[in-house]
């Protein structure tokens, strides 16, 4: 009976992993163990306790199956772009929000991606832009800029696994922006910076919340010819009745069109 149960668990893990979370087309960026080695050893000892009844063992297996033990972050080879976020006309004439050095930040700095386990639909207005400070009168006209490049984006996958290697949370999201815009022949700016949910799979009993936030803006160029460097942070929490885990992941988007995960 014990061997049968473990065989079923392993089969489910293999099916779940290779159907919903297949390794094809993605690169592992980071892998973290969420609980100490001592606790992992304790789990193993409890499972190997020969004095447990079959009922108690099944209850223990179910309980331990609800404890995330590892977290993995992948980059997908084929990004899922949100081209609707690059409507220049609709994003024109928004009120300015903040000045940072040679730049102004326009738009929403904090965007909800997942709330109470449900992806939040992001709109074209759920973006922000980092533009030259010459637009400093409370309104701006994006059409005064030029040389914008086609949007770039990256898609990432966050996977939480339990003690048996079964994925209990799988969240896929994208970040991106149009880049390279200049003003009067100078600078490389960002327009339509976004983060958006693409896919969310939760094992029963788990909850997930996520939001993106613009953390910092820096000048990667010179004062005369600035290049935007925008650091976005993804803040997320995985929880169930047993425990919760809060984490942050950071991504750098530049006016040159680079998008980099910051481990």
Mean pLDDT of the chain: 81
Give me the pLDDT at residue 26, please.
94
DSSP string, 170-182: EEEEEEEEEEEEE
b/e sequence 107-137, b meaning 16+ C-beta within 10 Å: bbeebebbeeeebbebeeebbbbbbbeebee
Quote the pTM value. Answer: 0.81
Q: Cβ distance 195 to 155 under 8 Å?
A: no
What is the per-residue pLDDT across 81-130, written as a single tens digit (0 to 9) for each?
765 555 544 455 455 578 787 898 888 888 899 998 888 876 666 788 99
Give me the pLDDT at residue 140, please.
63
What distance in Å separates the CA atoms of residue 128 and residue 76, rounded to the nearest whole number? 24
């Amino acid at each position: 009976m014990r061997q049968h149960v473990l065989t079923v668990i392993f089969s489910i893990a293999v099916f779940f992993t290779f159907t919903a979370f297949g390794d094809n087309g993605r690169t592992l960026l980071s892998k973290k163990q969420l609980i100490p080695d001592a606790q992992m050893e304790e789990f193993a000892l409890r499972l190997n306790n020969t004095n447990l009844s079959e009922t108690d063992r099944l209850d223990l297996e179910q309980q331990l199956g609800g404890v995330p033990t590892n977290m993995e972050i992948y980059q997908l080879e084929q990004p899922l772009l949100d081209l609707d976020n690059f409507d220049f006309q609709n994003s024109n004439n928004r009120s300015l929000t903040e000045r940072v050095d040679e730049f102004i930040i326009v738009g929403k700095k904090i965007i909800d991606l997942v709330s109470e386990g449900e992806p939040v639909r992001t709109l074209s207005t759920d973006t922000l832009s980092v533009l030259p400070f010459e637009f400093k009168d409370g309104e701006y006209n994006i059409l005064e800029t030029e040389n914008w490049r086609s949007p770039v984006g990256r898609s990432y996958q966050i996977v939480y696994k339990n003690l048996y290697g079964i994925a209990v949370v799988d969240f896929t999201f994208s970040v991106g922006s149009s880049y390279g815009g200049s003003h009067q022949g100078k600078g490389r700016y960002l327009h339509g910076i976004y983060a958006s949910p693409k896919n969310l799979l939760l094992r029963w009993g788990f909850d997930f919340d996520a939001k993106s936030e613009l953390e910092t803006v820096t000048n990667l160029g010179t004062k005369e010819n600035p290049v935007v460097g925008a650091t976005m942070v993804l803040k997320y929490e995985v929880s169930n009745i047993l425990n919760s885990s809060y984490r942050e992941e950071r991504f750098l988007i530049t006016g040159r069109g680079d998008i980099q995960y910051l481990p």
